[in-house]
Amino acid sequence: MKINGAAPGHVATDFNDFRGTRTPDEGAAVAVRLATLPADGATGAVFEDDTQLAW
């Protein structure tokens, strides 16, 4: 089991009255990438796009 966090960025959704700077597809890309990591992929980290965040 892998546990990672996904930071999708400021996504335009009805939650923020569509004021985000990213589309839902752009925001979902990091979650899809993390959900399809190989067996030796990262765990215990937070990612925004392809970048591992320091926190």
Residues 21-47 have pLDDT tens digits of 999 999 999 999 999 999 999 999 999
Provide the whole-model pTM. Answer: 0.83
The C-alpha atoms of residue 37 and residue 3 are separated, in whole angstroms, by 11
Strands 4-6 and 45-48: parallel
